[in-house]
Amino acid sequence: MVTIYSTNTCAYCIMAKDYFKEKGVEFVEKNVQMDHDAAKEMVEKTHQLGVPVIDINGTIILGFDREAIDKALVN
Amino acid sequence: MYDLIIIGGGPAGVAAGVYASRKKLNALLLTKDFGGQAVASAKIENFIGHTVITGLELAKVLEGQLRAQQNIEIKDGISVTAVAKSDGGFVVTDSKGETYRTKTVLMTLGSAYKHLDVPGEKEYSGKGVFYCSTCDAPLMQGKVAVVIGGGNSGLEAARDLLPFASKIYVLEYAPTLKGDAVTQEMLRKEANVEIIANAETKEIFGVDFVQGLKYEDRTSGAEKLIHAEGIFVAIGMRPNSDVVKGLVDMTSFGNIVVDHKTMQTSVKGIWAAGDITDGSYNQINMAIGEAIKAVLNIHEHLFTGEV
């Protein structure tokens, strides 16, 4: 399961979502700007305040890092 | 063997790719992503040809134009780990361990956010210390934020924070702000923006997450505290030149020294363009012009057999 935590104006979040779409990877987007529960969940689960934070089956990736995403998807 | 390998997919790299293709050079472009650091800009209003464009739109326009070229090979999603001299040219190695041989190299890796290098910065990175204001300003709803740096990127970070933060401090090391007068005027009219000049950041502190920072008032020498939940570091950029460290001449800041007439580095066969060089003004428009200059010079060299 892939979850991406995002804000409205975050370009790297859009790039990450586009990348998942391009690869045909299904993901859930949680907008931490609009949804306070999602913001709380992001902080509790990942101990991060900055976006994008991507959770790929428990592997937490900070920022848009294609190599890290590819590696986590293979695992 | 390639005629040219372009390393980097920002505005300079893409411009180089387009020109290399039109000159029918046997060229390869290696990049992690397209658009470079401009991607994170909410609004670019000085890119000539577009009245207003977002960084992300610009990245897509650039990638689209590059992919529309007939004669260029593109490998993206990888980074370059080594550039070394070899017989008759260079060997470039990527992060997947693949190697490529080429007659010439053009470095267009641009720059990345400069760090403060004070205690607490690394520890609280992503936990209240931020470098991308368009990404993380929305998380400052009703909170106190500090922007470190009074240049254009700092003032833009303050502008990005305006709709969210309850209070915004802008700390500048120098006695005056360097950012554009238009943005300064706009920020000075805002009641919740406080600009503090002559401030040297000493430490970022917190528990689990950022709680504030200590700075020295450089006029009085007094140490002062600001309690804040977000610290946006915008003190400029550092060149992404590590991969050619020791190979080409650089300034003490790591900017590649080039001949500004040709964009050639100290090593024959290696050129550089854009923010990675020792040029005076870091602008998208300039990076594009420099990269084109480089490719035309590279073409001349390959054509006359001088490389």
Task: Report the gap between the CA of A53 and the closest CA in chain B (Å).
Answer: 10
Q: Out of A10, A13, A67, whose CB is closest to B77?
A: A67
φ/ψ (deg, to 5) at B278 = -90, 25
Q: Out of A12, A33, A67, whose CB is closest to B138?
A: A33
Residues of A in contact with B59 (CB under 8 A): 11, 15
Per-residue pLDDT of chain B (307 residues; tens, 9 = 90+): 999 999 999 999 999 999 999 999 999 999 999 999 888 887 888 899 999 999 999 999 999 999 999 989 999 999 999 999 998 899 999 999 999 999 999 999 999 999 999 999 999 999 999 999 999 999 999 999 999 999 988 999 999 999 999 999 999 999 999 999 999 999 999 999 999 999 999 999 999 999 999 999 999 999 999 999 999 999 988 999 999 999 999 999 999 999 999 999 999 999 999 999 999 888 999 999 999 999 999 999 998 876 6
Of B192, B139, B140, the C-alpha closest to B170 is B192
Q: SS3 of B181, please?
A: helix
Q: Out of B126, B127, B138, whose CB is closest to A7?
A: B138
pLDDT of residue B307: 61
pLDDT of residue A33: 93
pLDDT of residue B170: 98
- Angle (CA) A46-A52-A53 rounded to 5° is 20
And the tokens for B1?
Answer: 């063997």
pLDDT of residue B255: 97
Contact B138 A8 (CB under 8 A): yes
pLDDT of residue B73: 98
Q: Out of B32, B95, B209, whose CB is closest to A49?
A: B209
Q: Out of A7, A12, A33, whose CB is closest to B40?
A: A12
Greatest Cα pair distance, chain B, in angstroms, is 64
Residues of A in contact with B135 (CB under 8 A): 7, 9-13, 50-52
Asked if residue B102 lies in contact with residue B270, where contact means CB atoms within 8 angstroms, the answer is no
Contact B135 A48 (CB under 8 A): no
- Domains within chain B, CATH numbers bracketed: 2-113+237-304 (3.50.50.60), 129-233 (3.50.50.60)
**Nearest-10 Cα torsion for A46, A49, A50, A55:** 20
The sign of the torsion formed by the CA atoms of B159, B160, B162, B168 equals: negative
The three state secondary structure string of B46-82 is CCCCCCCECHHHHHHHHHHHHHCCCCEEEEECCCEEE
ipTM computed for the complex: 0.86
Pairing of strands B111-113, A53-56: unpaired
Contact B136 A10 (CB under 8 A): yes
**Sheet of strand B167-171, all strands in order from the earlier edge strand to the far edge:** B129-130, B230-233, B144-148, B167-171, B193-196
pLDDT of residue B56: 92
pLDDT of residue B43: 83
Q: Which of A4, A10, A54 would you mutate first to test chain B, the one with the most B CBs within 10 A?
A: A10
Cα nearest neighbour of B229 on chain A: A49
- Per CATH, domain A2-74 is 3.40.30.10: yes
B160 part of contact set with chain A, CB < 8 Å: yes
Q: Which of B60, B133, B136 would you mutate first to test chain A, the one with the most A CBs within 10 A?
A: B136
* Lowest-pLDDT choice from A7-16, A56-65, B36-45, B48-57: B36-45
